[in-house]
Chains A and B, each alone.
Chain A
Amino acid sequence: MTGIASSSVQPALLDERSLYLRQLVVRGLVGGNRGHVGSSMSLIEILRSLYDEVLRFQPDQPGWPERDRCILSKGHGCLALYALLADKGFFDAEELDRFCHVDGILGGHPERGKVPGVEASTGALGHGLSIGVGMALAARMQNRNSRVFVVMGDGEINEGSVWEAAMCAGKHKLSNLCAIVDYNKIQSAGPTEEIQTLEPLLDKWTSFGFKAVDVDGHDMSALSDVFKSVPIASNRPTAVICHTVKGKGIPFAENNPKWHHHSKFSPEILTEMNEALRTPA
């Protein structure tokens, strides 16, 4: 579980469900003719694990007070979240066809109150963890067992506000809070190691008072083991560094900074995407 380097992330074949969820992302990309391709594809297994196996929620009652909260702080990866929420029945999958449309509810960044199941409006980076800290403290004050999961991007954690929130979470020993980093190693401008060095990332979170672990962010079994065991330490918040591949599942987009965001998809590109995500017969 610990000590996973990016090079050790195996190019494992995606199973049927992971392919299906990516197909939903592509449905949104086609609907809007735009979207954050790489940023959404790296997130799929993280969100799949949370929504399939870990989070407590009621799609017909999104405001159920006892639910676990999941904040997608890297809001630009919203197509992955929309895929999961549609799959779980928070809204009809047909909404994906109207992604970014003037009359659609699914925008290029997720909005609380507009999209059932979205806990916080995000898009500007570095906001989700502080909101999550507030929610975790609220749960503590209200004696609720709700847990709060905050999914951040690796570029996002350049923001100073993330570390203000981390310091605060550590101080309050928020064991009901789990910070997740989608560590795909590529931010908008290029490789994270060139733009703003994050390493030693595990040590950073540990030093801020978290119980921090590494995991292969596309390995469903490993993700499930980690997320199901949150809180990993009884008196500390958890940080899960998920080593992922940007654009995972779309060969030409994988690890390619140019596919962070893309618009105006040609028919050839869409054919290639659909081919890559075709469910085996």
Chain B
Amino acid sequence: MRKTCLNMVHQLAQQDPRVVFIGSDLSPGLLQEMKEEMPARYFMEGVTEANVIGMAAGMAMDGFVPFVNTIATFITRRSYEQVALDLCLHDLPVRFIGNGGGVVYAPLGPTHLAVEDIAIMRALPNMTVTAVADSDEMVRLMKATLDWPHPIYIRLGKGGDPIVSHDRRGFEIGKGIVMREAAGTGAVVFVSCGVMTNRCLSASKLLSRQGIDSEVIHIHTIKPLDEELIIERTHHASLVVSVEEHTRIGGLGSAVAELFAERSGMPALVRLGLPDAFATNYGVQDDLLSLNGLQPDQITNRILNDVAQKNVA
């Protein structure tokens, strides 16, 4: 997903002279071809997150569309004030690409786990927050970024994630996608983002083997939230389950809960995500997802348990 994303920056830069790339201190040889082909629009500025965001803002004020890339925790936590004021207050078309959204950097420990990035980005006015499902969808997102007039946070997954998205379903920033339709009303409806969508699709298949009808709504844009689609697809559900690789505070599940809280008659909502705690284990991404009940079989069992206990509206 990361490689696809950065290759798209190069491709977009070939199409559009407004596109520039700004990295902090990334892998040697990163976007080497772009660097050689258009050195004037390629910047690698070192470990200066605050500066690169401000610099991108200055360029955007004069007509450029900068794509800034570094590790997700640093670009969101470290430079939060720059993101809030330089980008969001000025409402500038800067795109910042966060490597390792969620628990991708599991072996590196809590300093590198971007598990509240969606929450803090979502809180900022004018900000667009995205977490696509796979590298194919990343291509669609990147194409759509070119003329989106606001700042965009692009959360990257680990890479090598199964391809579950498809061209035929289209792609529009701010519009959710029904990835798997329920057979009828009264189904369990998953609302997910990022690579958790592939886990939900697997869980949905496991549930159907148990005779439980379910649907998967993929929300690649957490902000602005496709409220219309979520309401339309969930108001007849027996249970709504939000699933995210993110703390349960402030992310997709919270956004759905906020939406439901303002309407009467909405179904029960179960929010699956990471706990309000710093990670205490290392391992790999899948290990931390397993420890937190976010693998397909665990999600399935949780729902079966909820259904059995009639924890359903």
Contact = CB atoms under 8 A, between A and B. Distances in A.
B59 A137 contact: yes
Given A141-B40, A141-B41, A165 B55 contact: yes
A133 B85 contact: no
Contacts of B43: 137
B11 interface: no
A65 B63 CA distance: 10
Given A120-B90, A121-B89, A127 B54 contact: yes
Interface string B57-82: 11111111010000000000000011
Contacts, number: 99
A23 to B, nearest CB: 31
B50 interface: yes
A158 B266 CA distance: 52
Interface in A171-230: 171
B50 A161 contact: yes
A169 to B, nearest CB: 9
A164 interface: yes
B48 A164 contact: yes
B50 A135 contact: no
B58 A137 contact: yes
Nearest to A122: B85
Output the residue of B56, B59, B82 with the most chain A CB within 10 A.
B59
Nearest to A113: B90
B51 A133 contact: yes
Contact of B50 (A120, A134, A141, A164): A164
Interface of A is mostly: helix
Main secondary structure on B side of the interface with A: helix
B48 A168 contact: yes
B61 A120 contact: yes
Interface in A91-124: 111-113, 119-121, 123-124
Interface string A119-147: 11101101101111111111111100000
Interface string B226-254: 00000000000000000000000000000
A167 interface: yes
Interface residues of A, number: 32
Interface residues on B, range: 20 to 34
B58 A131 contact: yes
Given A113-B90, A120-B61, A160 B50 contact: yes
Interface in B13-50: 20, 40-41, 43, 45-46, 48, 50
Contacts of B85: 121, 123-124, 127
B216 interface: no
Nearest to B64: A138
A171 B81 CA distance: 24
B55 A137 contact: yes
A164 B46 CA distance: 9
A161 B82 contact: yes
A123 B52 CA distance: 19
Nearest to B55: A134
B234 to A, nearest CB: 38
Given A127-B82, A131-B86, A138 B53 contact: no
A268 to B, nearest CB: 38
A142 B62 contact: yes
B81 A124 contact: yes
B64 A131 contact: no
Contacts of B82: 127, 130, 161
B85 to A, nearest CB: 6
A126 B54 CA distance: 10
Q: Of residues B52, B55, B56, B85, which shows the largest number of chain A Cβ atoms within 10 Å of its Cβ?
A: B55
From B41, B48, B58, B64, name the one whose CB has the most chain A CB atoms within 10 angstroms: B58
B53 A130 contact: yes
A137 B61 CA distance: 12
A138 B48 CA distance: 19
Nearest to A119: B61
A112 B58 CA distance: 12
Contacts of B50: 126, 130, 160-161, 164
Interface in B87-140: 89-90
Nearest to A134: B58
Contacts of A160: 50
A113 B89 CA distance: 10
A207 to B, nearest CB: 16
B63 A168 contact: no
Contacts of A127: 54, 81-82, 85-86
Contacts of B59: 134-135, 137-138, 141
Contacts of B81: 124, 127
Nearest to A130: B54
A140 to B, nearest CB: 8
Contacts of B58: 120, 130-138
Shortest 4 CB-CB distances between A and B: which pairs?
Answer: A134-B58, A130-B54, A138-B62, A164-B51
27 contacts: A65-B62, A111-B89, A112-B61, A112-B90, A113-B90, A120-B57, A123-B85, A127-B81, A130-B50, A130-B53, A130-B54, A130-B82, A133-B51, A134-B55, A134-B57, A134-B66, A135-B61, A137-B43, A137-B55, A137-B58, A137-B59, A138-B62, A161-B50, A164-B50, A165-B48, A168-B45, A168-B48
Given A120-B90, A134-B58, A141-B20, 7 more contacts: A113-B90, A130-B50, A130-B57, A134-B56, A135-B59, A165-B55, A168-B51
Interface of B: 20, 40-41, 43, 45-46, 48, 50-64, 66, 81-82, 85-86, 89-90
